[in-house]
Structure 1
Amino acid sequence: MSTDYKNFVPVKAIPFVQFLIDEHSFDLIIVNQRQTKHGDFRKLPDGRFQITVNNNLNKYQFLLTLVHEIAHHVTHQKFGRAQPHGKEWKMVFQHLMLPFLRPEIYPTKILPFLATYLKNPKASTDSDVNLSLVLKGNEAEKGKNFIFEINPGSLFEFKNIIYRRGNKRRTRFECLNMNNQKVYLFNQNVEVKQYNF
C-alpha cells in the first residue's frame, strides 16, 4: 500500500525508488508537514513496516528523506537493533544513495553538498546548514525568512516566541528570547517570521 510518491521525487529517480520499494516491503505514507521531523520509520504492532514522509518537502528533500528512512528499514532488517544513526545505518544510507548521485536526478549545484554530507551523514539533513539551504533552493517558506536575512537587533518570531537577533558566532546566531531573557543559538538555515509591531 504505497501512497503514490511519483509526483514527489525527480522523474529520473522513479525506477530506483520503485526498486527499493519492491525490494524492501513497507507501506509508504505521505503525511502533512510535521514541525519536528521530515519523515520516520516504524515497525507496526502487526509486524508490517511503515515509512512516512512530509508532503511539504520539495522533490530533492523528499527523495533524500525517503532514502534516509528506507536506510533505517534496511538496517533493521540486516542488523536488528542498531544505533538509529550509527555506523551500520550510515553505511546502508551511503550505499542506497549512490544510484541517486547523478546530475539527471540532483542538480549539479546540489551534488557537491550532498556528497560532502554523505561522507558522514547526520540524523537530520537540517544539521548540515549548507546542504539544507541548497536543497531549499536558498528560499525560505512563503512569509518567512532565514535567520541570516534578519537584521541584527531586529525582532523575529519562532514557534510563537519573540526573539531579538544578535551577533553571529562562527556558524550560529545568538538570539535573545524576549520572554525569559536567555540567549539561544540558531543555525543559519532556521526559518523565522519577521516581527512587525
Structure 2
Amino acid sequence: MSIRSRVTVPLKFADGYSTTAEVITFHDLADGKEHLALALGDAAGAEVPLVRPHSECMTGDVFGSQRCDCGPQLREAVERIAQAGGYLLYLRQEGRGIGLYAKLDAYALQDAGLDTYEANRALGHADDERDYTAAAQMLAALGATTVDLLTNNPDKAAQLRALGVDVRNVRPTAVHASDANVHYLQAKISHTAHTIDLPLAV
C-alpha cells in the first residue's frame, strides 16, 4: 500500500469559507475502494496532526440533507483541521457502511417510526458496518503514526487503536442539531455512545 498521487484543490463552501487542500490518493487499500485524504493546513509540519475519518454521506455532504449532521460536521472539520494541520480522511462508507440505496430504504423505515439503528436491523444490516482498516493504512502511508482524532464516535478511536494507530486525544465535533435530526442524534447517543451534548434530547 502506497501513495498514488497528490493534487492541490482549492475548496470553497456554501457559507463562503475557503481553504486549499492537497488531495491524496492511494494504491492497494484493504477494501479496494477509492478513499481520499485531504491534507489541510500545515499537515506535514504538525507535531501531532488532527485527523477526522469522515464517512461519505451523499445526501448530507452534497445535497445538504437535514436528516443527519454529516454536512455540517464535514464543513466544521475542514476548518478545524486547516487551523491545526492534519488530514481529513474521506471514506467511501455511505450509510454507516450499508450503501446509498440501503440508507434511503432505512430512511423510509424511519419515517414509519423506527430509529436509524432499528431501521438498519430491519433491513438485515448491523448497527454500523464500517471498517477503518483502510483509514489506518492511509495514516501509515502519510507517516501519521500518532494523531489527535476529531470525532464523536468512540468506535472510530477504538478501531484505529486496535489497528496500531496511536490516538493521543479524541476531540468532539460541535453539536449540529435541528428539528429534523434531533431524534437521529439521540439514537447515536443511546445506541453507540456518541459523545454528543444534546440539550434537545427527550
Structure 1 length-normalised TM: 0.29
Q: Which has the higher contact order (CA 8 A, sep 6+)?
A: 2
Answer with 1 or 2: which has the greater Rg: 1
TM-score by length of 2: 0.28
